[in-house]
């Protein structure tokens, strides 16, 4: 097995390698003076099972290009199998036509990853399940639920939390986590007036006097989560926390979270934390390195990956 790390999230790649007790493959991913991406593999990978670890988070286009060029370098180096390990799959929110003459960029990205040389893809908590069908190669979509459920049980022993989906589209995800910890479920019905702006309309479920835990896959501007936290508090919730798979947290999102009623926002290290995230008093990060490493090992050994979530 060979692990190749690009520049998107080097600390996560190092943590995965440490868990598997192997060294990262000696490779360089650098730029020419005009910012062209250049990749060079400094080890023999002929006939090897190679895993390229690279989220396509900010800067999304640079990180995506690094991934594609690395896949091509390995393909041309006669690697036996190449797996793109993408902890955060960028462009996932562009999974359908939302208005006339708009692209379905998730499908485009799936196509170019396939053409670049990937034989398989491993990712985490896709924004929507149908993206799996955009790929013509096998895709393993891992889930954060085991990581989140363990942390919730350790943080709130003896509590009776209620899991809350911040919108109707996230109900399946929230229900899955609720069933793991045997908790009740509530749903926030919201209307989005325009991109990046949401308005909470109604809460489906009784949250009065309860500890509420919001669950989502992506937090970007954090407007939805903060509005949801305000609505839950107004409905009588004793405390509100949020567990989100991918902490994009762009622009003034961290400041918005810090000044919100959220007691804590828990994200994973699928995206490398910025300095603002590390300094925020109510933002905490959980590692997915063991989960990703176990999946990589099982794929390499030709064992079941889905049994990780039984």
Judged on CB neighbours under 10 Å (0-12, 13-18, 19+), 56 is buried
| CA atoms of 229 and 225, how far apart (whole Å) | 6
CA separation, residue 175 to residues 166, 206, 245, 253 (Å):
12, 16, 15, 26
Name the 3-class secondary structure at 137. Answer: coil
**Can you state the angle between helices 289-300 and 10-20, rounded to 10 degrees?**
60
- Say whether 199 counts as a known binding-site residue: no
30: annotated binding-site residue? Answer: no
Across the beta sheet with 81-86, the strand order is 2-5, 49-53, 81-86, 120-124, 139-142
Q: Please tell me whether 216 is known to bind a ligand.
A: yes
224 is in an annotated binding site: yes
Q: Is 269 annotated as a binding residue?
A: no
Would you tell me how many other CB atoms lie within 10 Å of the CB of residue 223? 17
Please tell me whether 125 is known to bind a ligand.
no
Is residue 175 a known part of a binding site? no
- 42 a known binding residue? no
Q: Cβ distance 241 to 263 under 8 Å?
A: yes
User: Which tokens hold the place of 124?
Assistant: 């985490």
* Active-site pick, 2, 97, 190, 233: 190
300 annotated to a ligand binding site:
no
Say whether 159 counts as a known binding-site residue: no
Could you tell me the end-to-end alpha-carbon distance of the chain, in angstroms, rounded to an integer?
Answer: 26
What is each CA distance from 67 to 71, 112, 125, 236, 273, in whole angstroms? Answer: 6, 10, 19, 47, 20
Is 70 marked as binding a ligand? no
Token reading at 111: 């196509």
List of residues 6+ apart from 103 with CB closer than 8 A: 94, 97
- Quick check: is 233 catalytic? no
In angstroms, rounded to a whole number, what is the distance separating the alpha carbons of residues 275 and 43? 34
Is 36 annotated as belonging to a binding site?
yes
Neighbours of 10 (CB within 10 A): 15
Residues contributing to the annotated binding site for ATP: 34-36, 93-94
Residues contributing to the annotated binding site for D-ribose 5-phosphate: 192, 216, 220-224
Please identify every residue annotated as catalytic. 190
Residues contributing to the annotated binding site: 34-36, 93-94, 127, 167, 192, 216, 220-224
Residues contributing to the annotated binding site for Mg(2+): 127, 167
């Amino acid at each position: 097995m060979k692990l190749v790390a690009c520049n998107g999230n080097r600390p996560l790649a190092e943590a995965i390698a440490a868990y598997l007790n192997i060294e990262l493959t000696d490779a360089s991913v650098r730029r020419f003076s005009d910012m062209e991406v250049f990749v060079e593999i400094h080890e023999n990978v002929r006939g090897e099972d190679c895993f390229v670890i690279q989220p396509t988070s900010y800067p999304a286009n640079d990180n995506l290009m690094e991934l594609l060029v690395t896949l091509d370098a390995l393909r041309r180096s006669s690697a036996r199998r190449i797996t793109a390990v993408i902890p955060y799959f960028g462009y996932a929110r562009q999974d359908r036509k939302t208005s006339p003459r708009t692209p379905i960029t998730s499908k485009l990205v799936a196509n170019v990853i396939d053409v670049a040389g990937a034989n398989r893809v491993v990712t985490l908590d896709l924004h929507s399940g149908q993206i799996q069908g955009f790929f013509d190669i096998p895709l393993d979509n891992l889930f954060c639920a085991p990581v989140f459920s363990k942390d919730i049980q350790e943080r709130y022993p003896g509590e009776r939390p209620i899991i809350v989906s911040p919108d109707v589209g996230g109900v399946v995800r929230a229900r899955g986590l609720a069933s793991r910890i045997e908790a009740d479920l509530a749903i926030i019905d919201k209307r989005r007036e325009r991109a990046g702006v949401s308005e909470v309309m109604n809460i489906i479920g009784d949250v009065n006097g309860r500890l509420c835990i919001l669950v989502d896959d992506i937090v970007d501007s954090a407007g939805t989560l903060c509005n949801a936290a305000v609505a839950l508090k107004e409905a009588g919730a004793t405390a509100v926390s949020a567990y989100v798979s991918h902490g994009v947290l762009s622009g003034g999102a961290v400041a918005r979270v810090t000044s919100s009623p959220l007691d804590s926002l828990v994200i994973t290290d699928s995206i490398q934390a910025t300095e603002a995230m590390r300094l925020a008093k109510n933002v905490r990060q959980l590692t997915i390195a063991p989960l990703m490493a176990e999946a990589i090992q099982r794929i390499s050994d030709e064992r079941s990956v889905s049994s990780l979530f039984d």
